[in-house]
Chains A and B, each alone.
Chain A
Amino acid sequence: MAQMTMAKALNEGLRRALEDNPKVLLMGEDIGKLGGVFRVTDGLQKDFGEDRIIDSPLAESGIVGTSVGLAIRGYRPVCEIQFDGFVYPAFDQIVSQVAKLHSRSHGVYKMALVIRIPFGGQIGAIEHHSESPEGYFAHTAGLRVVSPTTPNDAYWMIQQAITHDDPIIFCEPKCRYWEKGEVDLDRPPRGLFDAHVAREGTDVTVIAYGPSVRTAVRAAEAASAEGRSVEVIDARSIAPLDFPPMVASVQKTGRLVVVAEAPANASVASEVVARLTEECFYSLRAPALRVTGYHTPYPPSRVEEEYLPNIDRILDAVDRVMGFES
């Protein structure tokens, strides 16, 4: 057991993956000497050299596109996209090659690469530094999308992602980077694609992922002070979604609220609602609600608190599902 921040846990996880397999290499902007703008790769270039920790030219399509080639050659590249809002130049490579080459080559090419993206808001940043692009990737067959929310998850999930043979979009909730937590250096808490009950409750199921998990847990704490028992599930894996624990929870509570920063329209949150409505139709006592960012571009961060799912908005949804029949 060790106490560390999520940024440090990712750093340690990457370090261990680099030690475990010489084919693992890192590529991204400013990840070498600077150690990444969030210092997630701090010290790695010093220890593993410039051939394995590659400061790339400033081009995201280049980072991902050349990583595809490295993967074909048997390497296991871990790409860093500096911020969520800068992944779009790489979109074509991710959707057209990363997601499809395994299929197109009949499995001959393993697209064993990880694309790390710090994502989500709540950091008071300027434009393009707070977005939630996970839905685009979750929508794309051939990709898997995961998001750790604790240092322990971060430490293990990055290693599990690197050893996995499918391409994984690894979404890191940047607002949690500096939060400390226990890391068990010996044993992973659970599988890479397993959801997890972050807080138990009996009245309402709240499903969240990434930066929204902590908001949801805090809302659950506030709800408890109001006499309501809210269960919070951390999806952890965004694609595929781990439905069985979610189904069990909704069958128990009969009420569902899904929380995400990404706008609801055609989103992961909508997928969660659709599937759980299908699977738990008879158990639902109220329509499932989504609490998400509004359908606007991510706003100037001085109003992000009002744009994002906050405690008030989650509690409001809890009120509405609880009050539906009464």
Chain B
Amino acid sequence: MSEIPLVQLLTPEGERVTHPEYESTLGKDEIFGMHRDMTIIRRLCNEATSLQRQGQLALWAPLQGQEAAQIGAGRALQPMDFTFPSYREHGIAWCRGIPPEKWLRLFRAVDHGGWDPQQYRHSVPTIVIGNQALNAVGYAMGVQRDGAEEATMVFFGDGATSEGDVNEAFVWAGSFDAPIVFFVQNNQWAISEPTVRQSKIPLYRRAEGFGFPGIRVDGNDVLAVHEVTKRALAHAREGGGPTLIEAFTYRMGAHTTSDDPTRYRIDADVEVWKHRDPLERVKAYLVRQHQVPASEFDATSAEADALAAKLREDVLAMDSPDPLSIFEYAYADVHPLIEEGKRDMIELGVGGGAH
């Protein structure tokens, strides 16, 4: 993969390997559960892509290739931990228990958020690259001041590490020993730009310069990601300060359904990464090591199909919001311009059922 050290516990072929510092304690059921998670989010992601092609979504950001990174990290979270996603973290949303149709509200353009962030301990999506990194550090500083045993985790991409906000977040986290885990999914691309455009050194090494540890993990190895993240979260909860995790992975699909990757990358690269598929290796391991029968995988697939069908149904049933709803949450307190706008819309016969 590269000479740069990276934590790997399961090879692309499905062999368990050891690492001097990290060892997975997960049993068969838990690993099978992660395979199930990954199968489901891949299936849901495909359904969303189809829905977009069929004109039912404005856009979709697929996560193919990044399932292990997200499920490994998502399953390492404790219920009280708080997470800040960007826009591709469907796997994290799944782990946090958010119903899939809620993730799609944003992409159907009926909502900018879609779920109650306090209920699921998962913040609303951030599309502006890197913004949420600072917000997450601030949240972690609050946890720190409350003396709570909670960790905060923020997700962003390789491209995001160039933004001022992310670098400032590193400064703050380092300076205040904030209980935070920075989880960067290095999927090798920021739309059309390869990671080398953002950094001449491996991203995880950025951390050192800001005064906290960084680690690269095989982002397609769900066991390794899980173990590394679990450790970093515990470190944060115990007051050890921040960690930067670089999940080294690959964006198998287009950046979004609006993208045309054939313009900037060659199939050969994608082929290489196909052999590192995050699901295949777990399946191979489960079959070989734990003799999981094909029927169990079939059951998972059937479950994923059913969830996809349900997702389709839910999305198609998702109506445009009442136009008057745009005024609802612009401010916490009454505001004259909001009242004026509402009146205007109502007089014009828009909204409130007149639509």
A residues neighboring B (CB under 8 Å): 29-30, 32-35, 37, 55-62, 85-86, 88-89, 124-128, 265, 294-297, 299-303, 306-307, 312-313, 316
Given A125-B59, A313-B348, does the pair A296, B320 have CB atoms closer than 8 Å? no
Contact B58 A33 (CB under 8 A): no
Contact B326 A299 (CB under 8 A): yes
> Would you give 7 A-B contacts (Cβ < 8 Å), ordered by A?
A56-B197, A59-B163, A124-B109, A125-B59, A127-B112, A296-B326, A299-B326
Minimum distance in angstroms from A291 CB to a CB of chain B: 10
B327-355 residues at the A interface, CB under 8 angstroms = 327, 330, 335, 337-338, 340-341, 344-345, 348, 350-351, 355
Q: How far is the CA of A307 from the CA of B323 in the complex (A)?
A: 8
Contact A300 B321 (CB under 8 A): yes
0/1 per residue, B132-168, Cβ < 8 Å to A? 0000000000000000000000000001101111000
Contact A296 B341 (CB under 8 A): yes
Q: Is B193 an interface residue, CB under 8 A from the partner?
A: yes
Contact B165 A294 (CB under 8 A): no
Given A58-B193, A58-B198, does the pair A88, B160 have CB atoms closer than 8 Å? no
Contact B330 A55 (CB under 8 A): no
B52-89 residues at the A interface, CB under 8 angstroms = 58-59
Q: How far is the CA of A100 from the CA of B165 in the complex (A)?
A: 24
The interface centre, meaning the residue of A29, A55, A57, A296 with most chain B CB atoms within 10 A of its CB, is: A296
Minimum distance in angstroms from B224 CB to a CB of chain A: 27
Given contacts A126-B127, A302-B110, A306-B323, 17 further A-B contacts (CB under 8 A): A29-B193, A33-B263, A34-B192, A34-B263, A58-B160, A62-B162, A62-B164, A85-B128, A86-B128, A126-B59, A126-B106, A294-B327, A295-B340, A301-B58, A303-B320, A306-B355, A316-B348
Q: How far is the CA of A37 from the CA of B338 in the complex (A)?
A: 34
Query: Residues of B contacting A56 with CB < 8 Å?
Result: 197
Q: How far is the CA of A299 from the CA of B321 in the complex (A)?
A: 10
Minimum distance in angstroms from B15 CB to a CB of chain A: 36
B241-255 residues at the A interface, CB under 8 angstroms = none
Query: Residues of B contacting A299 with CB < 8 Å?
Result: 321, 326
Residue pairs across A and B with CB atoms within 8 Å: the count is 119
Minimum distance in angstroms from A218 CB to a CB of chain B: 17
Minimum distance in angstroms from B293 CB to a CB of chain A: 42
Q: What band does the interface of chain B fall in when counting residues whose beta carbon is under 8 Å from A?
A: 35 or more
Contact A301 B109 (CB under 8 A): yes
Q: Is B191 an interface residue, CB under 8 A from the partner?
A: yes
Q: How far is the CA of A55 from the CA of B193 in the complex (A)?
A: 7
Contact B162 A302 (CB under 8 A): no
Query: Residues of B contacting A61 with CB < 8 Å?
Result: 164
- Give the 10 A-B CB pairs with smallest separation, nearest first: A34-B192, A306-B323, A295-B337, A58-B159, A57-B162, A294-B341, A302-B320, A299-B326, A33-B264, A301-B109
Q: Is B108 an interface residue, CB under 8 A from the partner?
A: yes
Query: Residues of B contacting A300 with CB < 8 Å?
Result: 109-112, 321
Minimum distance in angstroms from B122 CB to a CB of chain A: 17
Minimum distance in angstroms from B109 CB to a CB of chain A: 4
Contact A35 B263 (CB under 8 A): yes
Contact B111 A57 (CB under 8 A): no
Contact A125 B338 (CB under 8 A): no
Q: Is B289 an interface residue, CB under 8 A from the partner?
A: no
The residue in chain A whose Cβ has the minimal distance to the Cβ of B199 is: A57
Q: Is B183 an interface residue, CB under 8 A from the partner?
A: no
Q: Is B115 an interface residue, CB under 8 A from the partner?
A: no
The residue in chain A whose Cβ has the minimal distance to the Cβ of B158 is: A58
**A35, A296, A313: which contacts B330 (Cβ < 8 A)?**
A296
B80-125 residues at the A interface, CB under 8 angstroms = 106-112
Query: Residues of A contacting B350 with CB < 8 Å?
Result: 306
The residue in chain B whose Cβ has the minimal distance to the Cβ of A304 is: B109
The residue in chain B whose Cβ has the minimal distance to the Cβ of A82 is: B191
Contact B338 A34 (CB under 8 A): no
Minimum distance in angstroms from A287 CB to a CB of chain B: 15
**A37, A60, A62, A126: which contacts B109 (Cβ < 8 A)?**
A126
Q: Is B171 an interface residue, CB under 8 A from the partner?
A: no
Contact B337 A265 (CB under 8 A): yes
Given A30-B192, A306-B345, does the pair A57, B197 have CB atoms closer than 8 Å? yes
Given A34-B192, A296-B330, A300-B321, does the pair A59, B164 have CB atoms closer than 8 Å? yes
Minimum distance in angstroms from B130 CB to a CB of chain A: 8
Query: Residues of A contacting B321 with CB < 8 Å?
Result: 299-300, 302-303
Contact A307 B326 (CB under 8 A): yes
Contact A30 B193 (CB under 8 A): yes
Q: Is B129 an interface residue, CB under 8 A from the partner?
A: yes
Contact A306 B127 (CB under 8 A): no
Q: Is B307 an interface residue, CB under 8 A from the partner?
A: no
Query: Residues of A contacting B59 with CB < 8 Å?
Result: 125-126
Contact B129 A303 (CB under 8 A): no
The residue in chain B whose Cβ has the minimal distance to the Cβ of A306 is: B323
Q: Is B18 an interface residue, CB under 8 A from the partner?
A: no
B200-233 residues at the A interface, CB under 8 angstroms = none
Minimum distance in angstroms from B339 CB to a CB of chain A: 10
Q: Is B284 an interface residue, CB under 8 A from the partner?
A: no
0/1 per residue, B175-203, Cβ < 8 Å to A? 00000000000000011110001100000
